[in-house]
Amino acid sequence: MPTASNIRPCLTKPHIRKITSLFGAVKLTLLLIACITPVQYDSSSKLFLAKGVLSPASAETLASSRPSSPSLVWSTLSHLVDRLAIWDSVYFIAMADRGQIYEQEWAFSKLWSVIIRSLTPSALLNWTESPLNHIYWYAITAIVISNICHYLATLTLYYLTQRMFRGVKAPQLALTTALLYCISPAGMFLVAGYTEAPFALLSFLGLLLRDRQYPILAGVLFAISCGIRGNGLFWGILYLYDLALHLYKYHFKRKIRTVSIILGGSLIGAMFLGIQYYAYRTYCPERQLWCNKPLPLIYSFVQNHYWNLGFLNYWTPNNIPNFAFGLPTFILLCLSLKYFSKHEFSSLYMKLLPLMIIQAITAVSALFLWHFQIITRVATCLPLMYWYVADLMVRRPQSKTPRVIATYFIVWIVVQGILWSAYLPPA
């Protein structure tokens, strides 16, 4: 009979087919929702994208010189981009086009826009016969990268789950976790070219490398994730935990390991501080609002000044619907923390503890400091919630609780897709 010690993590073909089939079905459903949603209640993003479309005369010339089917393809493609390149996506695309110019744009990562710009083929940007301007190609690149990263993150989470939960049921637990991740409550945010999917992929790969005792390589990935999203700084908690545990066990006797942990964690801090220093050199000392503070961080200033982030700032009556949008995910985060604190997971507790700390900090920050509804997408990098639901499904297949949660996932991403495509909250 196989035991936890002799079962090696693997990604089987039948499981890959199941994951790929569900992943494709979910993506096609969300893209269809985006296409058929009849009305957008805000046209501001279209004003930005409008300069990316050729004039009517040029479009008419193009249509007369090509078969009718390509014209339908171009029309569908531009319509889909119009539906997806909204909310924060406009910032990402604009910064990919001309860099960060305005101070408020520093609420968003510079690195994600650099990646979009770098991976957009120059041939498409200079394709004069295309009915779409270069701005659309930046948007399409962001959408493609986001969806590829979501798929790779799903497979990485599958493998990570097997490594964390060694045992006979690990393959089934990994499959269930991956299938749940395909229907993540982040939904449209994992389709529309946002940072959540690449951030999750880098995070899961970093967790995998950390578990395999490669702290420096893991630190590189965590540092890149920090360059994509500011909350990537939380991954530094893993290194503080590892360092404290290592020193407690070995008292500086394994110096190479000690240095590796310190170096890996320092990469995360260096990325965050490097971006802040670049902003300081760019704007200071002309900008007096934040440059003269004891800790002149543009990220925290912009989040507070332009986006009203701060302690209880979001606790207003008009934001009650946004709290309702994010509450189910918040509850799942809390329930998963309680679940993995049980005695039956005592053998895993030390491995899961730093993840639990990071998840608790994220949940508390969302409740008291952030725009609460973003917890549905910020939680995509936190595997405990998915492990919680998956473990309930595997251990207690007759229980109604995991089925209710999975139903919520499915219903929510459909509702969210409609709201998103209509340019309505939450976002």
303-334 residue pLDDT tens: 998 888 999 999 999 999 999 999 999 999 99
Per the listing, tokens 């110019």 go with 101
* Residue 317 lies inside a defined structural domain of this protein: yes
* Residue 161 lies inside a defined structural domain of this protein: yes
- DSSP string of 218-263? HHHHHHHHHHH-GGGGGGHHHHHHHHHHHHHHHTT-SHHHHHHHHH
* Residue 201 lies inside a defined structural domain of this protein: yes
Read off the tokens for 34.
């985006």
138: three-class secondary structure by DSSP:
helix
* Residue 303 lies inside a defined structural domain of this protein: yes
Q: Which pLDDT value is given to residue 167?
A: 79
Sequential pLDDT tens for the chain (427 residues): 344 455 667 778 899 999 999 999 999 999 999 999 887 776 666 667 766 443 344 444 434 444 444 578 888 888 899 889 888 888 999 999 988 888 888 888 889 999 999 999 998 888 878 888 888 999 999 999 999 999 999 999 999 999 999 877 899 999 999 999 999 999 999 999 999 999 999 999 999 999 999 999 999 999 999 999 999 999 999 999 999 999 988 777 778 899 999 999 999 999 999 999 998 888 887 666 788 888 888 888 999 988 889 999 999 999 999 999 999 999 999 999 999 998 788 889 999 999 999 999 999 999 999 999 999 999 999 999 999 999 999 988 888 999 999 999 999 999 999 998 888 888 6
Q: Which pLDDT value is given to residue 275?
A: 92
Cβ atoms of residues 421 and 40 within 8 Å: yes
Distance CA 20, CA 56 (A): 40
* Residue 64 lies inside a defined structural domain of this protein: yes
* Residue 280 lies inside a defined structural domain of this protein: yes
> Does the model's pTM come out above 0.95?
no
Phi, psi for residue 147 in degrees, rounded to 5: -70, -40
CA distances from 1 to 6, 68, 309, 402 (A): 10, 62, 54, 29
Cβ atoms of residues 136 and 52 within 8 Å: yes
Task: Report how many domains make up the chain.
Answer: 1
- Domain of 131 in residue numbering reads as 14-421
Q: Which pLDDT value is given to residue 266?
A: 97
Q: Which pLDDT value is given to residue 293?
A: 85
- DSSP string of 307-373? H--STTTT-SGGGHHHHHHHHHHHHHHHHHHHHTTSGGGTTTHHHHHHHHHHHHHHHHHHHHTS-GG
Q: Which pLDDT value is given to residue 95?
A: 93
* Residue 52 lies inside a defined structural domain of this protein: yes
* Residue 307 lies inside a defined structural domain of this protein: yes
pLDDT in tens, 221-239: 999 999 999 999 999 999 9
Cβ atoms of residues 209 and 333 within 8 Å: no
Cβ atoms of residues 380 and 329 within 8 Å: no
